[in-house]
Amino acid sequence: MTKKGKVYLIGAGPGDADLITVKGLECLKTADVVIYDYLVNEELLKHCKTGCEKIYVGKKASEHTLSQQGINELLIEKAKQGFIVVRLKGGDPFIFGRGSEEALELKNNDIEYEIIPGITAGIAAPSYAGIPITHRGYASSIAFITGHEDTSKMESDINWEKIATGIGTLVFYMGVANLPFIVSKLKEFGRAGDTPVALIRWGTHNFQQTITGDLDTIVKIAEENNFLPPAIIVVGEVVKLRDKLRWFDIKPLFGKRIIVTRSRTQASGLCRNLKNLGADVIEFPTIDIIPVKNFNLLDDSIHNIRDFSWIIFTSVNSVEIFFKRLFELNYDSRILKNGKIAVIGAETGNALKQFGIIPDLVPTTYTSEGTVEAFRLMKDEIKGEKILLPCSAIARDIIPSELEKFGAVVKIVLIYENVIPDYSEEKIDSYFEREFHLVTFTSSSTVMNLAEIFRKHKKEHLIGKIKGASIGPVTTETAKQNGINIVVEAKIQTIEGLTDCILEYFSDKKGYVA
């Protein structure tokens, strides 16, 4: 019997990836095929399972990747092949999203479907701009209106006479190109020229833009600011509240574009910190973490784990890969009870705690040198002891060589490789030829790999554009050797420490170097 497919029409929300609903995210994680639009934040695609087919069908202005009929046929085709299909649409599927048309096509073809609503831009974008679309005393009614209507039509589908004065707050979607027409119609049918107006572009993104005026002035203001789609228009007295209720675009890093070079598996903490402070964060991982293909050496070490007095974890990756293999061999954390564990850094220690273990040693300085210094204080205790060091193929040899000088026996087990991702020239240009304010480096590898990516594509000139933020002195020195200017160095070598110093740097008009 052929497996029966199903289509989920999911509202991805207005832009901020965190605004997708819990149900929508859970369905996305199970999809075999995801068909997504122009206004969908591609961060959401990171949640797709391995092997999921991702198909972009974005439409903007005169550029259509696929016609609406083509999209309908694609949904039907994939569902008939037995796949779980997610149709991921910006905002809400049923609010100017043509989701109802797609649902009708599915219905007509006897294909099971489900609608998962999303937060629409007409609510979210004003909220992020500090504009409540209703407020007692200002507006008790709302209308959502298409601003994309063809102005050459003999008859409008919009009853301008009634909406102009009969509704408190008017929210126009896709209306920037038609702004003069919309303004003229509202004034023609009685809306006062001094009625406040806001235009909100890329709502809920950390590069959101908002301009305000009134019906008499907003067209000129939009022209002066070269205000382009995608944007919504909010008309009504509630716009007056923006000055008091602004919260999003006054965050300390708002308007700052920061490129994060950390591996994608580790970038989330730093990205989250910077985004919460308002930064427009661009992920450009210069490291891919690839577990080794052959775990024989690690397996042997785990089977004989009681032979080791210490295990030293140098990164979050080493912790996660080690424990994943431990569990695959049918062991759990109890097998480590007879030994001690050291970690380089608080972040690696936190990763260890996820497996129910508190590290015995966290050096004061989160470097290989700091780790050696911590062991130097107990060198008499480790003389003749066996130490396991599961690490990457490019790990520095300072720890094993120095500990062996103290009389320890160090077994190095390579458990993952740091691979440089393959970027196209177009991708590099899209990230680095545009304006950006800072590039973060959390290890020497992120520095060297970025320099190698530039060299491979003959983009060395981009190195001179970089203002770098380094997690510590070793990374800073590597950056200097590669010609990269470091303007921020974390005082405390943690992600939080780096975040704090970035915040301090942008707060100090004269610039800041730790």
pLDDT in tens, 270-313: 999 999 999 999 999 998 889 999 999 999 999 999 999 999 99
Give me the residues paired with residue 411 across strands. 388
Residue closest to 305 by CA, chosen among 279, 337, 283: 337
* Tokens matching residue 469: 């933020």
pLDDT score, position 514: 44
492 band by pLDDT with thresholds 50, 70 and 90: confident
pLDDT score, position 9: 98
Q: Which of 147-161, 277-291, 491-505 has the lowest mean pLDDT?
A: 147-161
Q: What CA–CA distance (Å, rounded) separates 514 from 505?
A: 9
Question: Residues in the chain, how many?
Answer: 514
Residue 356: count of CB within 10 angstroms of its CB:
10
pLDDT score, position 149: 74
Angstrom CA distances, 72 to 105, 219, 326, stand at 7, 37, 47
Question: What domains can be seen in the chain, in order of their start residue?
Answer: 6-118 (3.40.1010.10), 123-245 (3.30.950.10), 257-287+421-507 (3.40.50.10090), 290-419 (3.40.50.10090)
Query: Which residue in the list 37, 92, 249, 280 is annotated as catalytic?
Result: 37
The helices-and-strands tally (H runs, E runs) of the chain is 19, 22
The model's pTM is: 0.83
Identity of the highest mean pLDDT range in 197-201, 283-287, 506-510? 197-201
Please state, rounded to an integer, the average pLDDT across all residues of the chain: 92
Sign of CA dihedral 193, 194, 200, 201: positive
Q: What CA–CA distance (Å, rounded) separates 284 from 440?
A: 10
Position 182 pLDDT exceeds 90:
yes
pLDDT in tens, 400-426: 888 999 899 999 999 998 889 999 999
Q: What is the mean pLDDT of residues 345-352?
A: 87
pLDDT score, position 393: 75
* Tokens matching residue 62: 């005169």
Residue closest to 72 by CA, chosen among 95, 112, 52, 101: 101
Q: What CA–CA distance (Å, rounded) separates 361 from 279?
A: 34
Residue closest to 180 by CA, chosen among 216, 131, 210: 216
pLDDT in tens, 357-399: 999 999 887 778 888 888 888 877 788 899 999 998 776 688 8
Q: Which of 131-145, 155-169, 347-361, 364-378 has the lowest mean pLDDT?
A: 364-378
pLDDT score, position 62: 57
467-470 and 169-173 as β-strands: parallel, antiparallel, unpaired?
Answer: unpaired
196-201 and 142-146 as β-strands: parallel, antiparallel, unpaired?
Answer: unpaired
pLDDT in tens, 80-130: 999 999 999 999 999 998 999 999 999 999 999 999 999 999 999 999 999
Q: What CA–CA distance (Å, rounded) separates 410 from 66?
A: 59
Query: Which residue in the list 6, 54, 59, 411 is annotated as catalytic?
Result: 59
**Which residues, 6+ apart, have CB-to-CB distance to 261 below 8 Å?**
284, 285, 286, 287, 439, 440, 441, 442, 446, 447, 449, 450
Question: How does DSSP assign 242-296, residue by residue?
Answer: HHHH--STTSTTTT-EEEE-S-TTTTHHHHHHHHHTT-EEEE----EEEE-S--H
Q: Which of 161-165, 183-187, 396-400 has the lowest mean pLDDT?
A: 396-400
Position 328 pLDDT exceeds 50:
yes
Q: Give yes or no: 37 in active site.
A: yes
- DSSP secondary structure letter of residue 367: S
511 band by pLDDT with thresholds 50, 70 and 90: very low
Which one has a higher pLDDT value, 369 or 467? Answer: 467
Query: Which residue in the list 78, 89, 174, 185 is annotated as catalytic?
Result: 174
Q: What is the mean pLDDT of residues 142-161?
A: 83
